[in-house]
Chain A
Amino acid sequence: MKTLYDKLWDDHVVHDYDDHRSLIYIDRHLIHEVTSAQAFEGLRLANREPWRVNTNLAVPDHNVPTKNREIIEDPISKLQLETLDKNCRETGITKFEMSDSRQGIVHVIGPEQGASLPGMTIVCGDSHTSTNGALGALAFGIGTSEVEHVLATQCLVLKKEKNMLININGQIGKGISAKDIVLSIIGKIGTAGGTGYAIEFSGNVIRSLSMEGRMTICNMSIEAGSRVGLIAVDETTINYIKNRPFTPKNEEWDQAIKYWERLKSDDNATFDKVIEIDAANIEPQVTWGTSPEMVISVNEAIPNPSETEDIVKREGYKNALDYMDLKPGMRFDQIKIDKVFIGSCTNSRIEDLRAAANIIKGKKVSDSIKLAIVVPGSGLIKKQAEKEGISEIFIDSGFEWREPGCSMCLGMNSDQLGSGERCASTSNRNFEGRQGPGGRTHLASPSMAAAAAIAGHFIDIRGL
């Protein structure tokens, strides 16, 4: 009896070492500009060539401007983007140019292109690679040395993780999204709760989610400490990947379906840890602190550190309140938002944009908001949204409609928070300075961020 993770692992073992480590074959390597330059350099210095060029797919995303694409003002960003160009050209690796409508956030374009498929091992020098696990693939983030290792050998030396199952069952409330589900899970198990585990998300709530929602869940498994998030293959998965550019065709498609259909945990498979979540209890979530586990329902008050027994945690809470300029007992309607960011590999897919547009339709962004931006996850999503009239809804209400990229999720480009600015953000990390030095991040779902743009502060969207 095997778990989904066991099956994916077993299918990719090239060699077992005698110290509980295995050489694992990598089917897809996604590359972006920030974590790859030193790997290519290492390859060159050692006179090594990529092992299998066409398993690699590169795209610039972290540094790219989301407006005025013609000029990249920061010379260091420019050098990093040019270095990716040069490295791909020299090695023959396929790369989507900034001007290509297929360009976008690396974790968005993999599934969108069918370059990420069920049953694959997928790696990228980026922790949010776990997103791809929603397809029933073994996908995880790696460091730059491992990027070099994959380029040179098509393999990684890994120790198998333990198995964790998170079952989410019950009746999900109206207006509750995948983002609320995953934030509430992180709130419950903590940012280290999944460390050392591959997490499989299961239960009737997961089964009823779209692929977009599933990707949001797996995307943030790293925020629960787990490199690997997984969801079993079902009809939703197969329907999603059908007819995408890199997806197998004809007889190979039929053959692939047979292979993919077994990509679920056996009924009696044993997990090292099982967590049950009752979906009925999940309310709209907003983070208040500087770690994704510092999350509460929009209707709860900011917590009081003195009510926390753990001393280390109490200190963490105090630091977070101080950095976020919040006081215990405050309510979200008392906390004024300066900027709103809808985007990132967590929430920039068409479904996310539809949900946000649905909230703001016919309304105006509050005068107190300095900037509200929407950054689609890829050029194709942008096009689709424009076709559906979603872009107009955003623009009419006062949002800026941008070009695809990582944008304000990490502010390596010019989209940043100023010091002390407070942001309602659909991204994944509320760490100190993540969106810009001194910036203050509140993570929430696209609907919640959109509603905050209109009200000027967070509100419970269920009351709209």
Chain B
Amino acid sequence: MIAFKTFTGVIAPLDRSNVDTDAIIPKEYLKSIKRTGFGKNLFDAWRYIEADASDKNNHARKPNSEFILNKSPYDEAEILLSRENFGCGSSREHAVWALSDFGFKAVIAPSFGDIFYNNSFKNGFLPIRLTVDEINMLFKSVQSIQGYKATINLEKQIVKTQDGNEHSFDIDESLKIRLLKGLDDIALTLENSDAIVMYEKKRSKFTPWLFRKS
């Protein structure tokens, strides 16, 4: 996993609550067996005029010019701003892959769906929780100033807007370290292999039916 670095990017506003992972990446596009290439179908139903599930025709589809990510400079935005319960619904990690593949590095919202929140950290993608008041303030700024930018510093846990406002955010220390160092979760867990084997030994005596060979 690539380490998360401080960056400055344009904030794209998506003024909706309960943005579900079906909306982030519709199921028509979940059939790939790779982790890449989902960006072109991010928010597909909102981004294109006609519905078209067929990948090969994607380039010929007419974009919905009203949708925020189809407008410059938001087509190159790196920070997404949204409302309550972002990423609720289906567990599909494809939602994070699609956001990353489009170019987003972080999403700011008051709250997130639990599975989406977890999935984000496995992909070097940062979900930031701010208070509803702070989110309202950001929406106001973003909607009145074209191409409004912010700098996200994970190390200091701060979102600093272009006009100098600083919003600090909470994050689990271990998640922060994993993201900053780009650590491999599986390798970290395997450092505890002995503990896993010991647990299995103990547990197989206590609940042997869970350890039958067939």
A residues whose Cβ falls under 8 Å from a Cβ of B? 14-15, 17, 19-21, 23, 25, 27, 34-35, 37-38, 41, 46, 48, 51-52, 54, 63, 74, 76-77, 79-80, 83, 117, 119-120, 125-127, 141-146, 148-149, 152-155, 157, 159, 191-192, 195-196, 222, 225-227, 248, 252-253, 255-256, 259, 291, 312-313, 315-316, 319, 410-412, 419, 429, 431-434, 437-438
Which of A19, A76, A410 has a CB less than 8 Å from the CB of B32? A76
Contact mask B53-93 → A, CB, 8 Å, 1/0? 10100000000000000000000000000011100111111
CB distance from B186 to the nearest CB of A (A): 5
B195–A23 touching, CB < 8 Å: yes
Q: Could you say which of B35, B111, B115 contacts A192, with CB atoms under 8 Å apart?
A: B111
B186–A141 CB distance below 8 A: no
Known contacts A17-B174, A35-B91; is-contact A157 B185 (Cβ 8 Å): yes
Q: From A411, which residue of chain B is reached at the shortest CB distance?
A: B27
The residues of A that contact B156 with a CB separation of less than 8 Å are none
| Contact (A227, B189) CB under 8 Å given A126-B91, A255-B209 | no
By the criterion CB–CB under 8 Å, are A15 and B195 in contact? yes
B3 within 8 A of A: no
With A412-B27, A432-B23, A437-B53 as contacts: A127 and B89 at CB distance below 8 Å: yes
11 additional A-B residue pairs with CB within 8 Å, beyond A127-B115, A192-B18, A432-B23: A38-B34, A41-B33, A141-B115, A196-B114, A225-B88, A253-B209, A291-B18, A419-B51, A431-B89, A432-B45, A437-B51
Contact A145 B185 (CB under 8 A): yes
Which residue of chain A has its CB nearest to the CB of B214?
A54
Q: Indicate whether B16 reaches chain A with its CB closer than 8 angstroms.
A: yes
Interface check B163, CB cutoff 8 A: no
* Residues of chain A lying within 8 A (CB to CB) of residue B30: 34, 412
- Report the minimum CB–CB distance from A125 to chain B (whole Å): 6
Distance in Å: Cβ of A411 to nearest Cβ of chain B: 6
B1-21: which have CB < 8 Å to A? 15-18, 20
Give the nearest-CB partner of A410 in chain B.
Answer: B27
Assess the A316–B17 pair: CB atoms within 8 A. yes
> Using Cβ atoms and an 8 Å threshold, which residues of chain A touch B203?
25
In the assembled complex, which residues on chain A have CB atoms less than 8 Å from the CB atom of B115? Answer: 127, 141-143, 227
Give the contact stretch, choosing among B100-108, B118-126, B142-150.
B118-126
Residues of B in contact with A (beta carbons under 8 Å apart):
15-18, 20, 22-23, 26-28, 30-35, 45, 51, 53, 55, 83-85, 88-94, 96, 111-115, 118-119, 122-123, 172-174, 185-186, 188-190, 192, 195-196, 199-200, 203, 206-210, 212-214
**Pick from B16, B22, B35, B196: contact of A38, CB under 8 Å:** B35
Q: How far is the CA of A316 from the CA of B208 in the complex (A)?
A: 51
Q: Is the CB of A429 within 8 A of B122?
A: no
The minimal Cβ–Cβ distance linking A23 to chain B, given in whole angstroms, is 6
Partner of B122, one of A127, A143, A315, A434: A143
Roughly how many angstroms separate A440 CA and B165 CA in the complex, as a whole number?
42
Return 9 A-B CB contacts under 8 Å, by A number.
Answer: A46-B186, A76-B31, A144-B93, A144-B119, A153-B196, A312-B17, A315-B17, A316-B16, A432-B22
CB-CB < 8 A to B185: which residues of A? 145, 149, 157
Q: Which residue of A lies closest to B30 (CB)?
A: A34
Looking at the assembled complex, report how far the CB atom of A152 sits from the nearest CB atom of chain B, in whole angstroms.
Answer: 5
Shortest CB-to-CB span from A117 to chain B, Å, is: 8
- B208 cross-chain contacts in A, Cβ below 8 A: 252, 255
Give the distance in Å from the alpha carbon of A247 to the alpha carbon of B163 in the complex.
Answer: 63
Find out whether the CB atom of A21 lies under 8 angstroms from the CB atom of B174: yes
Asked if A79 contacts B189 (CB within 8 A), the reply is no
In the complex, the 9 A-B pairs of residues with the closest C-beta atoms, listed nearest first: A437-B51, A145-B122, A248-B209, A143-B119, A37-B33, A143-B93, A76-B31, A141-B91, A127-B91
User: A191-B18, A192-B84, A412-B30 given as contacts; is B209 within 8 A of A155 (CB)?
Assistant: no
- Quick one: which of B26, B118, B207, B213 contacts A437, CB cutoff 8 A? B26
Contact between chains at A431 and B91 (CB < 8 Å): no
Contact B85 A195 (CB under 8 A): yes
Chain A residues closer than 8 Å to B214, beta-carbon distance: 54
Return B157 CB to nearest CB of chain A, in Å.
15
A19 contacts B173, CB within 8 Å? yes
- Contact A429–B89 (Cβ < 8 Å): yes
Kindly list chain B residues whose C-beta atoms are within 8 Å of the C-beta of A253. Answer: 209
Q: Are A434 and B88 in contact (CB under 8 A)?
A: no
Chain B residues with Cβ below 8 Å from A412 are 27-28, 30-31
CA distance A429 to B210 in the complex (A): 33
Which A residues are CB-close (under 8 A) to B111?
192, 195
Q: How far is the CB of B204 from chain A (nearest CB, A)?
A: 11
CA A191 – CA B89 in complex, angstroms?
A: 9
Contact, CB under 8 Å: B26 / A77: no
Q: Say whether B209 contacts A256, CB under 8 Å.
A: yes
Interface centre among B26, B195, B212 (most CB of A within 10 A): B26
- Cα A253 to Cα B207 with chains together (Å): 10
Residue of B nearest to A28 (CB): B210
- A79–B33 touching, CB < 8 Å: yes
In whole Å, how far is B82's beta carbon from the nearest beta carbon of chain A? 11
Tell me whether A433 and B210 are in contact (CB under 8 A). Answer: no
Contact in complex: A191, B88 (CB < 8 Å): yes
Check if B195 sits within 8 Å of A14, measured CB to CB: yes
> Which chain A residues lie closer than 8 Å to B199 at the CB level?
14, 25
Closest to A140 in B: B115
A215 nearest CB across to chain B (Å): 18
Cα(A434)–Cα(B21), bound, Å? 10
Taking a contact as CB atoms closer than 8 A, the residue among A51, A79, A191 that contacts B31 in the complex is: A79
Contact A192 B91 (CB under 8 A): no
Given contacts A145-B123, A155-B189, contact A438 B51 (CB under 8 A): yes
Q: Please, how many angstroms separate the alpha-carbon atoms of A417 and B210 in the complex? A: 42
Contact assessment for B16 and A119 in the assembled complex, using a CB-CB cutoff below 8 Å: no
A12 CB, min distance to chain B CBs, angstroms: 8
Given A195-B111, A255-B209, A412-B30: A127 in contact with B90 (beta carbons within 8 A)? yes
Q: How far is the CB of A192 from chain B (nearest CB, A)?
A: 4
Bound: A25/B27 CA distance, A: 31
Chain A residues lying within 8 Å of B213, measured Cβ to Cβ, are: 54
Question: Cα distance A257–B17 when bound, in Å?
Answer: 45
